[in-house]
Structure 1
Amino acid sequence: MTTADTPTAASTTPLCDHLRRTGEWNPNWTPFAELDPEWTERFMAVGLKPMLDKVLDAKTIEFIAIAVDASCTHLYAPGVRRHIRKALELGATQEQITAVLQLTSVLGIHTMSLGAPILQEEMAAYQTRSQAHADAAHA
């Protein structure tokens, strides 16, 4: 029996294999895929479920993927590029993609909504401490 005649075992990671074949694989996933291929396959199945179920149209999926990859908590440029390219191929306009990016940029406001009140509290506490220190120096 030759190698060509030898039956091949079914892959235990068909989704991961598909992502690799189609250029959708993020190289950052490779280390944990090597450590635990079964867990990685299950993780990908969860992540791909909305796309595989086709509840949303393909262009909407690409808009969401752009938003996720461009978000201030992710900032994954290769994914942004890949999903913009796919969205354009699906008929998205520059204006639509710009709107997605603009909406996503609102995530950054949390930096201010978290930091500004803390700054105000700390400034008030600092001023109170400084005044108490000044009063003690004059006493």
Structure 2
Amino acid sequence: MWDTLSRWDPEWTEQFMAMNATPIRRGVFTPEFVELLSIAIDAAATHLYAPGVRRHIRAALELGVSREEILTVLQMVSVLGIHACNLGVPILEEELDAFEARRAAS
């Protein structure tokens, strides 16, 4: 995707990449934390970018981040998907009630 964007609009892509790298360049967080945060962002249910997850896991391991730390990040970010249940289960309950009511009325 990035190669295509770069070919189609190199100026925008360059600006996006520069903006994206600014927080990392500032050095506020350790490189290990940056990789863990990047894993969380790429693995989040709202993003699901497998190449990024792989790249950041490799980088984290190279920096000495433990399997347990990476696994904990993945476990923590997995709760983002629970919102589907928070939204969907009450709707399912309402629709089942309405369906049963219609069925009983016919």
TM-score (norm 1): 0.71
The alignment of Structure 1 onto Structure 2 pairs a total of residues equal to: 106
Q: CA deviation at 1:54?
A: 1.3
Report whether the alignment pairs 1:103 with 2:81: no
> Is 1:120 equivalent to 2:93 in the alignment?
yes
The CA distance in 1 between the partners of 2:21 and 2:87, in whole Å, is 32
Q: Decide which structure has greater helix share.
A: 2
Matched with 1:129 is: 102
CA offsets, 1:79-112, max 9 Å, x none?
Answer: 1111111111112111111100100111111111
Where does the alignment leave 5 or more consecutive residues of structure 1 unmatched? 1-27, 134-139
Task: Give the drift of 1:115.
Answer: 0.9
Q: Which has the higher contact order (CA 8 A, sep 6+)?
A: 2
Distance across 2 between alignment mates of 1:45 and 1:117: 43
Aligned-residue RMSD, C-alpha: 1.2
Larger radius of gyration: 1
SS in 1 for 2:28: coil
Report the AA paired with residue 37 of structure 1.
Answer: P
SS in 2 for 1:112: helix
- Tell me, yes or no, if structure 1 residue 70 matches structure 2 residue 80: no
Question: Aligned equivalents of 1:32 and 1:80: distance in 2?
Answer: 20
1:59 lines up with 2:37 in the alignment: no
Moved over 3 A (4+): none
Q: Which runs of 5+ in 2 are unaligned?
A: none
Q: % of aligned pairs identical?
A: 53
Aligned AA (1:91): G
Cα distance in structure 2, aligned partners of 1:132 and 1:53: 66
